[in-house]
Structure 1
Amino acid sequence: MTIRVVVVDDQDMVRSGLSALLSAQSDIDVVGEAPNGRLAIEVSRSTHPDVVLMDVRMPEMNGLEAARRLLDPPRGVVHRPKVLMLTTFDIDDYVYEALHIGVSGFVLRGAPIAELVQAVRVIAAGEALLAPSITRRLIEEMPRRRPGTHRASRLRLNGLTPREVEVLLLVARGLSNAEVAARLVVAEQTVKTHMTRLLAKLGARDRAQLVVFAYESGLMVPGAP
């Protein structure tokens, strides 16, 4: 399957370079580009990409607001792509908010092309949260940055079955569906069923938000293996 990608960055040379590098992959097709968040929304809604590679800081409309609109479209707009954000900062307040609105992952500007390509593939597949060092640090810092969320998240955790809690914990540790199935000695389809229920019960859009919830609820402790 070919992964359709839109590249969004306000620097022409960076945007062109990213597009060229991604287009060189046999399984990736760059279907559009945009220099700001406003145009990113227009391009994405006309080209229906699987993944939008989005810079965080841009003029006219920043990446966070554009991602919010793409991930929570108005009534009548069915398509909702995955969003992968580019950032130059290891710890950035934009990124904390991005996790909450459903952004699927982050890569640092200047990351090796292999890491960027793998990020696009992983997020397009929806199999696992991309967790380079920036993402892991951000998630582990979140309970300290947003202390008021712990009690509410803990109460929602009480609504899960013991097996759903097991699955959530393994997902928070970065395991794929297949790896969770092997660890629990169940069929992969059973894990997918648990994932569907977890997403519904917790009101999460994807695995990234499940991982955020695991940390905010205290189920996953920062620094735990």
Structure 2
Amino acid sequence: MPFLGRAAMSPKTETVRQPSHRRGAGRNLPPSSSVPPEVSSDAPEQAPLRMVIADDHALFRQLLVTFMSSRSNISIVAEADRLHGLIDLVSRTSCDLLLLDLHMERNALDDLAALSRRTVVIVVTASQEAGEALTALRLGARAIVFKHEAVSTLLASIEAAVKGDTWLPAGLQSDVLETLHQRFADPLTPSEREVVHHVALGLRNTEVSRKLFVSEFTVKTHLNHIFRKLGVRNRVELTRYALHCDLTAPDQGIELTAPAFPGRAAS
């Protein structure tokens, strides 16, 4: 974190807050500024956004809770300083939005898919690594915000996320696009292309291992590398890729230049 050291931590606990009784002006946040003004009271009243904040840096988390609690269209329903139990906490509070630090007692990417199925997730992180941001988006995060950014940037990301849009810092957009380009242009090895060919034909790992005279562990290792290179998440997406690139034909060969993967629309 650029401006905060790790705060001295009390024993690991979660704090569940009662929903605020302040009545806000709806889910649409005002235009970005250093501290944007509240929405006019003439707007139709709606329930405030129910927010959970998860970060293991106590000082940062508590300051964020204090600021967000001052917003009439946001209600902090819980805060957490660890990933353990967070999925259950999000489910119990029925929150609309989760502000999530990626690096707590472990990497939050392992839990991100499950969390994003339950609520809108905005990743708030000190890491500016493009590959990690791309993975977070693929796992369901709606926005990525760096911790060195201004509060107005975080509010802008919330506004975009609750509308169903994806939000990225300007400085990260070109990096993510470059990472995508490199990933989709990254050629598969001959062995990996053989594995893709057989998996796309519907063979299980044990059957592929017999066909290629390798161990099942080797097949699994190849698949892990293939998934990472192509940005696919499962065998169904891999099969779509193989069909698109004509890797299922018997004479598909072992060309070293893999065609670009046809984007996330295949999922």
Q: Give TM-score, length-normalised by structure 1.
A: 0.59
Match of 1:149 in 2: 230
Matching of residue 89 in structure 1 with residue 134 in structure 2: no
Contact 1:56 1:94 in 2 (8 A): no
Q: Which amino acid aligns with 1:125?
A: K
1:114 to 149, 152, 167: 152
Unaligned runs of 5+ in 2: 1-25, 27-47, 187-228, 232-239, 246-263
Match of 1:139 in 2: 176
Match of 1:62 in 2: 107
How do 1:75-86 and structure 2 match up within 5 A? Answer: 80-86=118-124
Please report how far the alpha carbon of residue 71 of structure 1 lies from its aligned counterpart in structure 2 after TM superposition: 2.6
Superposed CA offset, 1:112-139 (max 9, x none): 111112211221121x221312441342
Superposed CA offset, 1:72-107 (max 9, x none): 5xxxxxxx2011101212225432221211111100
How do 1:33-48 and structure 2 match up within 5 A? Answer: 33-48=79-94
Contact 2:97 2:120 in 1 (8 A): yes
Contact 1:3 1:121 in 2 (8 A): no
Moved over 6 A (4+): none
% identical aligned pairs: 23
Contact 1:107 1:134 in 2 (8 A): no
Superposed CA offset, 1:135-157 (max 9, x none): 4134212221453438939949x
How do 1:166-205 and structure 2 match up within 5 A? Answer: 202-203=266-267
Matching of residue 16 in structure 1 with residue 62 in structure 2: yes
Counterparts in 2 of 1:21 and 1:110: CA distance versus 1, 3 Å = farther
Contact 2:102 2:109 in 1 (8 A): yes
In 1, Cα distance between equivalents of 2:243 and 2:158: 32
In 2, Cα distance between equivalents of 1:21 and 1:55: 17
Matching of residue 49 in structure 1 with residue 105 in structure 2: no
- Residue-pair matches, total: 152
In 2, Cα distance between equivalents of 1:154 and 1:13: 51
Please report how far the alpha carbon of residue 23 of structure 1 lies from its aligned counterpart in structure 2 after TM superposition: 1.4
Any idea what SS the aligned residue of 1:38 has?
Answer: coil
Q: Which amino acid aligns with 2:72?
A: S
Q: Which amino acid aligns with 2:241?
A: A
In 2, Cα distance between equivalents of 1:96 and 1:154: 25
Any idea what SS the aligned residue of 1:37 has?
Answer: coil
Contact 2:51 2:96 in 1 (8 A): yes
Counterparts in 2 of 1:47 and 1:134: CA distance versus 1, 3 Å = farther
Superposed CA offset, 1:150-196 (max 9, x none): 8939949xxxxxxxxxxxxxxxxxxxxxxxxxxxxxxxxxxxxxxxx
Match of 1:99 in 2: 137
Matching of residue 30 in structure 1 with residue 68 in structure 2: no
Matching of residue 71 in structure 1 with residue 116 in structure 2: yes
Contact 1:6 1:53 in 2 (8 A): yes
Counterparts in 2 of 1:8 and 1:138: CA distance versus 1, 3 Å = farther
Any idea what SS the aligned residue of 1:96 has?
Answer: helix
In 2, Cα distance between equivalents of 1:117 and 1:23: 13
1:129 to 166, 173, 181: 166
RMSD over aligned Cα atoms:
2.8
Contact 1:52 1:83 in 2 (8 A): yes
In 2, Cα distance between equivalents of 1:92 and 1:142: 7
